[in-house]
Amino acid sequence: GDDDDDSADATTTTVDSMPEAPTSEADAETPDADAEMPDAESPMSERCGDPDRLGDSINFLNWADYIDEAVLEMFEEECGVSVTMDTHVANEEAIAKVDAGNSGYSLVIVTDYAVEIMSSQGLLQELDMGEIPNAANIDPNQMDPYYDPGNVYSLPYQYSTTGLAFDETAFSTPPTSYSAIFDENSHCGSSSLLEDQREVLGAALVYLGYDWNEVSQAAHDEALDLVLESRDCVTGFDSANYIGNLASGEVLVAQSWGFAAGIAYLDNPNIRYIIPEEGGTIWQDNFLIPADAPDPYTAHVLINYMLEPDIGALITEFTIGYTPNLTVPPLLSDGYYEVIAGAGLELTDDIRERLVWQVRSEEHSIFAETWSEVIAAG
């Protein structure tokens, strides 16, 4: 893009108009996939797998606002499969839908711990890596996760972190710790925590020196007290509105998803993102195929399609997350890198050290119990 270094508004436009740019680049790299004439009698793109086994349509369950819709349109045009994407706003919602049986979804995207839960309950089918040649493109760092050793059921889609986002202009010295919210909150009334039992309590736990996944009652009692204390100071426990609020200046420091800080940065270039010294979480969203998926083959094809370099680039440009696909970074626009760099979203090894995965098993129900105290408090 030529208007990269313009104001925030201009940046917005760039990101919005992004679909065209990478598509043309993709065309250049894979000349056989003639995007201009995908239909008619011309042989279907080889990114579409075996046309005989390919279904006509597929139901796809994804996080809301988590993919550039152009991807789906491209897939429809290229492969002739109509994609119906429904969205969920919580992993639990997705699990419930799949668990209800015959959900109709052939492809689902959920976050790490949800994969473990679903696979342990037999809700998933094993992926046939033979149908997903692009799996080879994936960063080994993001493979073989704790929740799915050997990637039997899942492949990574996007990943990101959870840390703190803040408005640079509001701080003389940039915060480096959760104390910016929990203690000595200098921006009382302009700070926010996520609406997520694990993230909030986890942050409190690490701030108090415990492990992010700590389950002892004593530690939780302490964490609860800390959260209840800071409750009066934060504007809210909020996983959505704070993004806009950061942009508008209503919130000055917030516990934030990494990608969200990027989005906020687009509207307000003063936004910065850090992983506090106590630590943060890393999380990864994954492709899954439910055990009772109506059309597993098409799902495999779609997974593979989304792991194509150009498609991956489209997706990552949109989510502003990190791509696990090693072929994607070269295709990403300057605009993307400007956001990552400007907002401080680079994922260095140093930062990776401080990141932990959230683990979820029966014993972690103590988080819900503690959290219900938070809910009960106000």
Give the footprint of other proteins on residues 1-20 (CB under 8 A).
9, 12
In the complex, what is the shortest distance from the CB of residue 156 to other proteins, in angstroms, rounded to a whole number?
A: 20
Residues from 299 through 358 that contact other proteins (CB under 8 A): none
Which candidate, 2, 22, 24, 23, places its Cα nearest to that of 13?
2
Residues from 63 through 122 that contact other proteins (CB under 8 A): 63-65, 69, 84-90, 92-93, 95-97, 99-105, 114, 117-118, 120-121
Is residue 236 at the binding interface for other proteins, with CB under 8 A as the rule?
Answer: yes
User: Chain-centre distance of CA 247, in angstroms?
Assistant: 20
3-class secondary structure, 166 = strand
# binding residues, other proteins (CB under 8 A): 74
Mark residue 333 as left, alpha or beta (left: phi above 0; alpha: psi -120 to 50; beta: remaining).
beta
E strand or H helix that includes residue 336: helix 334-343
Is residue 237 at the binding interface for other proteins, with CB under 8 A as the rule?
Answer: yes
Residues from 355 through 374 that contact other proteins (CB under 8 A): 360-362, 365, 368-369, 371-373
Token pair of 302 as six digits: 């779609």
Token pair of 240 as six digits: 């959505």
User: Chain-centre distance of CA 42, in angstroms?
Assistant: 36
Is residue 243 at the binding interface for other proteins, with CB under 8 A as the rule?
Answer: yes
Residues from 273 through 302 that contact other proteins (CB under 8 A): 292-295
Q: Give the contacts of 259 (CB within 8 A, at least 6 positions apart).
A: 158, 160, 319, 320, 321
- State which residue, 104 or 342, has the beta carbon closest to other proteins: 104
Among 213, 235, 256, 323, binds other proteins (CB under 8 A): 235
Is residue 186 at the binding interface for other proteins, with CB under 8 A as the rule?
Answer: no
Token pair of 218 as six digits: 């004593």
Is residue 43 at the binding interface for other proteins, with CB under 8 A as the rule?
Answer: no
Render 91-107 in DSSP notation, one character per residue.
Answer: HHHHHHHHHTS----SE
d(CA 292, CA 339): 40
Residues from 151 through 180 that contact other proteins (CB under 8 A): none
Residues from 113 through 152 that contact other proteins (CB under 8 A): 114, 117-118, 120-121, 123
Is residue 238 at the binding interface for other proteins, with CB under 8 A as the rule?
Answer: yes
